[in-house]
Amino acid sequence: MQKSAYAKLALFATILALGVVLLGAYVRLSDAGLGCPDWPGCYGKLVVPKQADAIAAANAAYPERPVEPDKGWKEMVHRYFAGALGLAILALALLAWKKRRQPGQPLVLPVMLVGLVIFQSILGMWTVTWQLKPVVVMGHLLGGMATLSLLWLLFLRSRPSDRAAVNAAKGLKLAAAAAVVVLVAQIALGGWTSSNYAALACTDFPTCHGEWWPEADFEEAFVLWRGLGMNYEFGILDNPARVAIQLTHRIGALVTVTVLGALALALLVGRRAPMLRSLGAVVGVLLCAQFGLGVANVLLSLPLPVAVAHNGVAAILLLSLVTLNYTLHRREAREPHHG
């Protein structure tokens, strides 16, 4: 397989991974995370039961979770896409091993992706069997974002390119790396907010219940482990704890806007390479869109399309920062290696 063909496969897997992330958000936000009470099938089948006798048998086997076909199909479509993504990643790893002696062929990264997608499948299983435990749901989200980001990096490293590396100050490289850390932390907070059903703990903006600092229980809000055997569907926290999560997510949003906004401005001003100026514009536009979607989620009571878009723009914003960091370190990245 030629390098350009490998890059195309990596791009296909990246697009598929983005679809899996969006489907995961859709399943979570439409309260279909337990649409199938078992894993990897649905009520013991590869498809959602639809015949009357099959539904009756499923209800008898899982009396605590009667069949809801709409929710079941949402969950299974997500699993089908995730399975296809796993096969695509396995193909990338096998092809990388086959071409491992070719100069510049990444090998460690595709193998890492196989390990990551296996761990993701385990998290997906725990999401169901541990009944939407927030720390697992948040970890599953972060794993999906990591898979997406590493696939995009693999594509960037595999595509043919004659562009020279850009010259950038060390401070700009550090700022770009810090921006990734800040954004990942904010995505984690978003996952924690969603998995604890705290997105509408405050129904106004920028205040919360008409106050700048309402009653909030931060100690209870961030307990990561509460043991097993609890059903977390629709959340178990009282309102002050959910308010604390929402306030923390808002503070995180302020930090994210400040750090990424400053980075975008630094890329746009001065005598920057055209590629860096373009990336600065992309980061700035996506950042504004993400902030607007976050505010709309609160003021419009979390409409499903807006909430899913909020997850999608976060993913694309992360990819833009991955591209920026790759571009700033391109000279090192394009040396012959097996990584």
**Catalytic residue list:** 75
Burial (0-12, 13-18, 19+ Cβ within 10 Å), 83:
middle
